Amino acid sequence: MYPCIFRVCYRGFLLIFSILCEAAAFNLDLEKPTVYNGPEESYFGYSLDFYHPTQDRNTMSLLVGAPKANTSQPGIVEGGAVYYCPWPAPDPDSCRQIPFDKANNRMIKVNGTREPLEFKSHQWFGATVRTHKGKVVACAPLYHWRTVKVSSEMDPVGTCYVAVQNFSAYAEYSPCRTNNPDPEGQGFCQAGFSVDFTKVTNLSPKPSAGLYSVVNHPYSFQVKHLQNKYMYNLCYLWASKYSKTLRCLYQICEFMCTHRLDDVLVGAPLYMDREFESKPREVGRVYLYLQEDVLLFSPPITLTGTHLFGRYGSAIAPLGDINQDGYLDVAIGAPFAGEDRGGRVFIYNGQKSGLMLQASQVLKGDWASSSIPAGFGFTLRGDSDLDNNQYPDLLVGAFGVSKVVAYRARPVVTVDAQLILTPRILNPEDKSCLSTTLIQYKGGFLDKLSPISVTLNYSLDQNSPPPGLQLRPILDHYSKTFHHEQANILLDCGEDNMCIPDLKLSAKMDRTELIIGDDNLLMLIVSAANEGEGAYEAELHVTLPTEADYIGVERRREDLQRLNCEHRTENDTRVVVCDLGNPMVADTNVRAMSLFILQINNILFVSLNSSNKDNSRSVRVNLTLSIAARAQVEIRGVSHPAQVVLPFPRWEPKEKPVREDDVGPQVQHIYELHNKGPSAISRTVLKVGWPSWYREEHLLYALQIITDGPVHCSVNGSLNPLKLEVAHANKLISLYPQNRKNNRNKTFLVSTNLFFIVTYIQYMIFIYAMIFQV
C-alpha cells in the first residue's frame, strides 16, 4: 500500500482550465531527454528537485529521493537515500548518494538491556526533497521514535535533515520527537510528509496534533538555531491529512498572478466521474480556486482527466514561463494514464486570461514495470533552467522503474512577419511595375475575376543539427507560420465592377450527310460574338463523338480567324477547346473554321463559355448530320467450258452411272461479286437459276458448290442426288485478281454435268442470275 502524500508548491500563477485533451509537442525537447537511473526497486524518483550550488551559479544539477534505497548505515534496512545527479550526465548511472546520516539507531538501556531509541529502517528517507539557494531539506516521514522509554511501542514522528554549504554541514530536526508520553504528544505526526520553502521570515509556532487522531492540521515552526547561520527562509512542514475512507489523495499548489493574490490548485486523483450513474469512472480531477480578493475565492474551475485509473492530478508543478511568452505555465501528472499504464504529463501554457484551453504538449512514459506501474509523472519539478538557455526545464520522476527524466525547453522563435501587397488593384495595361524579388512563380494569371492569392510560409531549417548539447529551436506554437493576402486585377466592367457578358453563338457544317465507310472530312464554321461586357477566359467548346478525329483549324482563309485550339479529354468526353480571349471584350465577333473526320456518330455539340459569375454561357448549338449508305456492286461470271457441242463424240451413257464421267462432261460456272463501296452492304442475296431437266431427264446435273469468303449457298433441291463420285478437284480462280485482298469480293463455283440427250434436239441452255440486297 502506497502512503498518501501532500505536496506543497509555491509559485506565482493564475490558472483557468478547460477540457483536457492531448496535443502535439511544443517546446519541451523529446529528442535529447536526459535519463537518470537509480537502484532497482528503490523508488528512485519518488521525490526530486533542482540543485543550484551557491558557489557556482552557472551550475545546475538534480537531487533525487529514493525512499527504499539501502545505504552504508550499519544495521539499517531500506532506510532511504537522496542522490546527487550531475548535469550534463556523463551516463545514466552517474548519480551518487549524499551522506545525510551515517549513524546507526541510537540506543538506550531499558532494565539493563540495550534497545533502540529510534528506528531508521524503512523510514522512507528521501520521500521529500526540497532545495533553495544551496540549502537542501530531505525528510523521512516514517521515521519512528520510542516516546515511552519503558515500552516497546514506537511512534512515526518523522524527521528531516538540512544540508548547507554544498553538503559540508548537516543538521537534523524532528519537531514531533518529544519525550511526552501523553495522548497530546506528536506520535503520528509524520513530519516531513511534505516540505517546501517560503519567503515568510517569522511565524509563531502553533502545534496542534493528537496522538490518536487521523485528521491532523498543518503547523509551522521557525528553525531558530539554523536561521541566522544557514537559512534565510522558513521551511513549511505539513502533516498528512486523510479522508475518512482513506480514498482521497490531495495535491495542493499555490500560484501568484499579476495582482499579487495567490490562486490555489487542488488535485483529486481518485475522483470518479459519474456522468453515467451506473458506471462511474475513476479519472481524476484538478480544481482551480481563483482568489478574487484577499481570502475570497471564486467557485472552483474543474479539469477532469480522460484516462481511466490514470490518477490525473497526482502531481501539479509550476513551470515558470517555459515558452517565454510572458505568461506562466503549469504541468499536471497522471502517473498511471495510458493503455500501457506508463503515465502521462500534460503541459498547459498560460495566456492573458489564465491557461490555454487545451494542453500544448503531452509527455509519455516509455517504461513498463513487472511488479508495479512505472509511475511516470508521479513527481514533477519545474521552473529552473538546467542548461542556462533562459528557458526553464522540467523534471519527471518514474519511481516504479527507478528513473528520472530531465526535459529541457527548446528556444522558441516568434516571427513577426508582414506580407504587404502594393498595389492591391493591378492594372494589366500598366507596365511600369519593377519586380525586385521573385519569391515564387507558377504560370500566368488566366483567372482575372478571382483575387490573386499570395501566401508567405516560413519554417526553421531542420537539416543542420545543433552542436553539442544545444537544442534545436522551434517556432512558436501559437503564432502563425504563414501570411495570406489578396490582390485584384482591374476590370473594365463599368461602375459596378461587375462584368455581365452576352454571348452569341452560331455554327454550320459544309455537308449535310455522312456516308458510311467514307472518310467524311467535315468543316465546321463557327461564329461567336459578345454583345455585352467583357467575357473572361472565353472559350469555344466543341464536344466530339467517340468516332471523330480532330484535324486542326483552317488557317489559309483570310476571312477566318486563326484560333488557338487544343484537343483534350474532360470526364471521359473528348472536347476541342479554342481560346477566344481573356477578356473577350464587348462587341467582339469571331469567325473560325475547324476540320474534323467523322464516322458513324453524327452529332456535334458547340458551346461558348466564360468564367464570369453572371450570364457566363451561350446557348448550346447541336449539329446533326444524316447518315447514308452508298455501294456499287458488280457481278461477273464465267463458264468452263464456254460451250458444249452435242452429241458428245465417242461417249456412251451408262445405265447405272457411278462416277461423274458416267453422266457426261463437267461444266463449271464461276460467279464473283465485287462491292466498290464506299459503304458496306450488311446483307446481300444472289439467286442463280439453271435448266436442270428436259423431257423428264437431267439436263444440267448440279454436282457441288464451292465458295470463297463469307458466302452461304443453298439450293431448292438437292446436290448430287445420285451420289456420284467426284473425280476432279475443283479450284476457284478470282475474276478480280487485283482485289483478292478486298473483303468486298465474294466468289463461288457451281459444278454441273450434262446428261446425254438421246433425241439430239437442238436447244439453248439459259442461265440467269439476280442480286438482291436485303
Rounded Cα distance between 184 and 188, Å, is: 10
The pLDDT of residue 204 is 31
C-alpha cell at 27: 517546446
pLDDT of residue 139: 96
The C-alpha cell of 722 is what? 445420285
Residue 83 and residue 98 in contact, taking contact as beta carbons nearer than 8 Å? yes
Q: What is the model's pLDDT at position 774?
A: 38
Class of domain 503-628: mainly beta
> What mean pLDDT comes out for the span 680-704?
79
- Name the pLDDT band for 763 (thresholds 50, 70, 90): very low
- Residue 202 burial (10 A CB sphere; 0-12, 13-18, 19+): exposed
What pLDDT was estimated at residue 10? 29
Q: Give every CB contact of residue 238 below 8 A, 6+ residues apart in sequence.
A: 6, 8, 193, 194, 195, 218
pLDDT of residue 582: 83
Q: Is the pLDDT of residue 214 over 60?
A: no
pLDDT at res. 737: 55
In the sheet that holds 219-220, the strands lie side by side as 194-198, 234-238, 219-220
CATH 3.90.226.10 fits 8-410, yes or no: no
- The neighbouring-strand residues paired with 573 are 570
pLDDT of 181 over the 80 cut: no
Backbone phi, psi, residue 579, to 5°: -80, 130
> Longest Cα pair distance anywhere in the chain, in angstroms?
173
CA distance 348 to 19: 12
What is the per-residue pLDDT across 283-308, written as a single tens digit (0 to 9) for each? 999 887 878 888 898 888 788 899 99
Give the integer Cα–Cα distance in Å for 233 and 163: 14
Cβ atoms < 10 Å from Cβ of 436 = 4
355-364, 490-499, 732-741: which has the highest mean pLDDT? 355-364
Beta bridge mates, 265: 253, 288
Residue 316 phi, psi dihedral angles, 5° rounding: -135, 130
Report, as an integer, the average pLDDT of 232-261: 40
More confident residue, 564 or 439: 564
Q: 568-610 pLDDT, tens per residue?
A: 888 888 899 998 888 888 888 888 877 777 666 667 788 888 8
What is the model's pTM? 0.61
What is the pLDDT at residue 445? 62
The Cα 290–Cα 252 span in angstroms is 13
Matching residue, cell 534565510: 232
The most confident of 381-390, 457-466, 490-499, 745-754, by mean pLDDT = 381-390
At 186 the pLDDT is 62
The number of C-alpha atoms within 13 Å of 332 and in the hemisphere containing its C-beta is 33
321-357, pLDDT tens digit by residue? 999 988 888 999 999 998 888 899 999 888 877 777 7
**Res 256: pLDDT:** 42
Instruction: For residue 51, give the H/E element and its range.
Output: strand 47-51
Q: Do 503-628 and 631-773 fold alike per CATH? A: yes
Strand partners, 490: none
d(CA 39, CA 264): 35
Are the C-beta atoms of residues 54 and 47 closer than 8 Å to each other?
no
Chain-centre distance of CA 506, in angstroms? 50
Q: How confident is the model at residue 717 (pLDDT cuts 50, 70, 90)?
A: confident
Q: Give which of 21, 23, 33 is closest to 478, Cα–Cα.
A: 23
Q: What pLDDT does 258 receive?
A: 46
Give the mean model confidence (pLDDT) for residues 247-272.
Answer: 64
Percent of the chain residues past pLDDT 90, beyond the cut: 24
C-alpha–C-alpha distance, residues 79 and 70, integer Å: 6
Alpha-helix residue ranges (DSSP H) falling in 632-723: none
Closest CA to 604 of 465, 505, 676: 505
Greater confidence (320 vs 426) lies with 320
Q: How much is the pLDDT for 636?
A: 82
Residue 758 has pLDDT above 60, yes or no: no
- pLDDT tens per residue, range 370-417: 678 999 999 999 999 999 999 999 999 999 999 999 999 999 998 888
Residue that wins the pLDDT comparison between 121 and 675: 121
Question: Which of helix, strand or coil describes residue 316?
Answer: strand
Q: Where are the domains of the chain?
A: 8-410, 414-490, 503-628, 631-773
CA distance 333 to 329: 14
Residue 392: the pLDDT is 95
Supply the pLDDT for residue 665. 78
Q: Report the alpha-carbon distance of residue 506 to residue 622 in Å, rounded.
A: 10
Q: Exposed e or buried b for every residue in 180-194, given b needs 16+ CB within 10 A?
A: eeeeebbbbbbbbbb
User: Residue 175's CB: how many other CB atoms inside 10 A?
Assistant: 21
Q: Is the pLDDT of residue 238 over 50?
A: no
- Does residue 563 have a pLDDT over 90? no
Q: Which residues contact 495 (CB under 8 A, 6 or more apart)?
A: none
Mean per-residue pLDDT over the chain, rounded: 77
**Tell me, what DSSP letter sits at residue 104?**
-
pLDDT the model gives residue 159: 95
Is it true that the peptide bond before 423 is cis, omega within 30 degrees of 0? yes
- C-alpha cell recorded at residue 212: 490518536
**pLDDT the model gives residue 692:** 79
Distance CA(110)–CA(153), nearest Å, equals 13
With 80 as the cut, is the pLDDT of residue 194 above it?
yes
**Quick one: fold of 631-773?**
Immunoglobulin-like (2.60.40)
C-alpha cell at 218: 498543518
Q: Which residue has the higher pLDDT, 66 or 497?
A: 66
pLDDT value for 420: 86
Distance CA 504, CA 90 (A): 83
Distance between CA atoms of residues 383 and 328, nearest Å: 9
Rounded Cα distance, 194 and 175, in Å: 14
Tell me, what's the pLDDT at 751? 55
CA–CA separation, 332 and 286 (whole Å): 9
Most confident of 452-461, 599-608, 717-726, 760-769: 452-461
487, β-bridge pairs: 452
pLDDT-based confidence at residue 629 (cuts at 50, 70, 90): confident
